[in-house]
Amino acid sequence: MTKAPCAPHPMPADPEVLAYISRTNAFYPADAYTFSAEENRAWYNRYAAEMRGPMPANLTATDFSIEALGPQRPIPARRYRHAQQSHSGTVLLYLHGGGFLLGGLESHADACSGLCAATGIDVLAIAYRLAPEHQHPAQLDDVQAAFAHLHAQGLRVIVGGDSAGGNLAAALCLRQRAQDGAMPAGQLLIYPGLGGDTSRGSYVSNAYAPMLTTAESAMYFGLRTGGMDRDSTLDPELMPLMAGDFLGLPPAFVVTADIDPLRDDGRIYVERLQGDGVTARYRNEAELVHGYLRARHMSRRAAASFTAIGEALVQLADGRLAAG
């Protein structure tokens, strides 16, 4: 969802990134935030389709449903598999971004197929229930059901996602720990929103950044929680940085965009993980903005970051991710 006119904001100097921002904004009216969820979803899906690259060769994508209980519901899922599969028995459970309001199997097909093609690792994407029709914890409940489905098959599961999906991936690890459940083998978080302090750091310096503002981040939180104020909850399943500690969580690779209000969430999460003895590595992308995965077909910076994400996924699958 694009932004209403706002105060001057930081902008990258890279012409390829600027072209990506301009192309993105062309898909939305300036006041898109005033329109309905259905209209914004239609714009977002059309935008995602237009920005998608061709399906990589030697890949198959199979759609099915995961039958979940409490309440009984089907969770749409899609499994990507490479003909030269590597790391048999390991799968990336990929959780899409979109502020918990937008997205599904089609919106992030490009990222999922790209990661599968680059690594040979199976990728399972799900279309978790969206806000505001479904409030927290519906999204995390669907993620946990998908994880349980994969774990029951004896698979080694790395959990990952971008933006809202990164939030859900981190929250799943905390929930599994709290419930003494099976733990993912690793975390792959891409510009995640983790509930950091909005009164300081990148939430202030990048408050009016292109692609995502601090105010938009708060709006998405409110849609997910029925209007709850961020300062009124300490729930780590909503805001993983609110966890009292991070002992025993899986190794993590976290990448952020420098021109993004969520930037410091990723950095602080890695610092907290490392402080509690968890192997974690952090990478911040200069000149890039929130949502840059879609820019990888037109930005060399975004393409290089996507390559690094794929390399980190392989390292998580091999159990050899190094801290940093």
| Residues with active-site annotation | 163, 260, 290
Cβ atoms of 289 and 211 closer than 8 Å: yes
The C-alpha atoms of residue 284 and residue 257 are separated, in whole angstroms, by: 6
* Torsion 311-314-318-321 (CA) sign: positive
Reading the block at residue 212, the tokens are 């995502």
As a 3-state breakdown, the chain gives helix, strand, coil percent values, each rounded to 5, of: 40, 20, 40
Which uninterrupted H or E stretch holds 92?
Answer: strand 90-95
The C-alpha atoms of residue 115 and residue 109 are separated, in whole angstroms, by: 10
In order of 9, 107, 281, the CA distances from 182 in angstroms are 43, 29, 23
The C-alpha atoms of residue 171 and residue 192 are separated, in whole angstroms, by: 11
The C-alpha atoms of residue 295 and residue 2 are separated, in whole angstroms, by: 16
Reading the block at residue 145, the tokens are 């059901």
The C-alpha atoms of residue 40 and residue 48 are separated, in whole angstroms, by: 12
Q: Which residue has the tokens 């990728």?
A: 123
Q: What is the dihedral of CA 28, 286, 193, 315, to 10 degrees?
A: 120
